[in-house]
Amino acid sequence: MEKEFNPTKKDLLMIEELILEIKAKKNGFISRKMSLQNSLSQLKNKYKDVTFGSKDFKRIKNTRQNVKNHLNGIDLKIKALNDELIFKNKLRLEIEFYLKNNKQFEGNEDLEKIHNKILTLKKKYSDFTKDRTRIASLRIMASEFIDELEKLLA
């Protein structure tokens, strides 16, 4: 059984909140990535102070490799977050489009207001049909309009 796509403003707010959370996570990873890149540069500069193949050279090389491995892991996490952001943004756009093109009454308050307006119209035209000073064809038309309003209220 397929479920109908019927999002609400609450769903839109929830998806926007998720997008903000993903962006915050991504920014944290980007900060960490910049820090690691800075460490990588500093380690590269340390090569100048050691001889090729020495113990210190190998230690710097191993440390740089570990930093590169961490950087690769962070890049993968950032890519995954970017993919998730793309998906969530598309979903947000679909929800916005749906809400814009399928305006429905949010809650009973709006429905109650419309119901009261219809009752007010019904009373107004009911009074009009009883007014003998009006043209008969207009009174008949008002009576037919009242019947239409009755159908809406039923």
pTM (two decimals) = 0.63
The confidence score (pLDDT) of residue 102 equals: 79
CA 144-146-149 angle, 5° bins: 115
Q: Which among 148, 21, 149, 141 has a CA at the least distance from the CA of 81? A: 21
Asked if pLDDT for residue 51 goes beyond 90, the answer is yes
Question: Which pLDDT tens digit goes with each residue over 55-94?
Answer: 999 999 999 999 999 999 999 999 999 999 999 999 999 9
Residues whose CB falls within 8 Å of the CB of residue 95, separated by 6 or more in sequence, listed in order: 7, 11, 12, 15
Task: Evaluate whether 42 touches 94 at the Cβ level (below 8 Å).
Answer: no
Question: Which pLDDT tens digit goes with each residue over 94-131?
Answer: 999 988 887 765 555 667 778 888 888 888 888 888 88
Q: Which fold has domain 9-101?
A: Helix Hairpins (1.10.287)
> d(Cα 73, Cα 79) in Å, to the nearest integer?
10
